[in-house]
Amino acid sequence: MPLQPTDVLRSVLQGQRLSEEAALALFERCDVLSLGGVADEIRKRLHPEPIISYVVDRNINYTNICISRCSFCAFYRSAGASDAYVLSRRQLFQKIKETIGLGGTQILLQGGLHPDLRLQFYCDMLRFIKREFTIHIHGFSPPEIIHFARLNSMSIAEIISRLRAAGLDTIPGGGAEILSERVRSEMSPHKCSADEWLRVMKIAHEMGMRTTATMMFAHSENYAERVEHLSKIRQLQDETKGFTAFIPWTFQPFNTRLGGMPVFGVEYLKTLAISRIFLDNILNIQASWVTQGSKIAQLALRFGANDLGSTMIEENVVRAAGVSYRMSLSEMKGLIADAGFQPRQRDCYYNFIDGVSEKGN
């Protein structure tokens, strides 16, 4: 007899961990409002205070030159393209100076898999940033670290150790997409495997670094593969407790070779809610206003999310795929307050750093 979603949700509220089979049943047969109600209840248990956090930062893509050429990406360029670039130190300086001037506390530093830049380039870049600024560097996703390891004939641990010594603070979960080898072999055959992505995160956690986890969904995967992704993240978190947050977001197809049509609100909210229910060992779930817009992001705060992510002073990758939502800091605070929560600024470790209560204006 197939699992009944109402029985599954009742058991979750009674404290039972969601199995992969039960999660698949929720994806296939549960209505979105029931999922949202349970996810919201779990959020309230984990975060009793009516607070939604956010961070002020900027996504800096130091280069768009990339040899991975993933079919879902509209951002990458070949080395000889007329609009290919590698940021100069001067450009980097101006971007970070502006970020700090706007109240920013961190940068998300990511780039394409450049075929020629060696590890010394990245270490020098980190030292330059730390010498000029007091700012948290959340940078270099697992595919970049795997690329550095291959290009420099070094181990993953040695690459992370060198980057950390040069100034890297935490590692973002970019490049996870769906942690299924079938999906990755179709969409991004030149990028690191699912096992390699997980290995980078495990090694970083064992070295004492914190990271985030992501999931880009609604492209070529099925529901079982979304569950496979969530299960791999939960299993690693059981081992290491190194993930600070989980950030699910939807594939944006425009200007990409993969193409197709984007999914919007209902599918996003359903996946967000199941993520909140399934990942019982990850404290923070982030809403993606960048791909969903402000209204769906506001709804997401009642579907399990307790964080609205970054103000994103600059964002390039999603914008290249035809999505250009923007939100000022005052708009973000107002959106949170209008949803019945108190907005609080945080750092990359989810510590509140505003010092005082805010009223959303």
Residue positions forming the annotated binding site: 66, 70, 72-73, 141, 177, 288, 310
Query: How far from chain centre, in Å, is Cα 228?
Result: 17
The binding site for (3R)-3-methyl-D-ornithine comprises 141, 288, 310
Give the residue ranges of the annotated binding site for [4Fe-4S] cluster. Answer: 66, 70, 73
**Contact indicator for 219, 72 with CB cutoff of 8 Å:** yes
Burial degree of 230 (CB within 10 A; 0-12, 13-18, 19+): buried
Report the Cα 54 to chain-centroid distance in Å.
14
C-alpha to C-alpha distance for 309 and 332, rounded to whole angstroms: 10
Name all contacts of 97-100 with Cβ < 8 Å and 24+ positions apart: 97/133, 98/58, 98/313, 99/56, 99/57, 99/58, 99/135, 99/313, 100/133, 100/135
List Cβ neighbours of 235 (8 Å cut-off, separation of 6 or more).
none
- DSSP letters, 311-352, are --S---HHHHTT------HHHHHHHHHHTT-EEEEB-TTS-B
Where is the binding site for S-adenosyl-L-methionine, in residues? Answer: 72, 177
Q: Please report the sign of the dihedral spanned by the C-alpha atoms of residue 161, residue 314, residue 344, residue 265.
A: negative
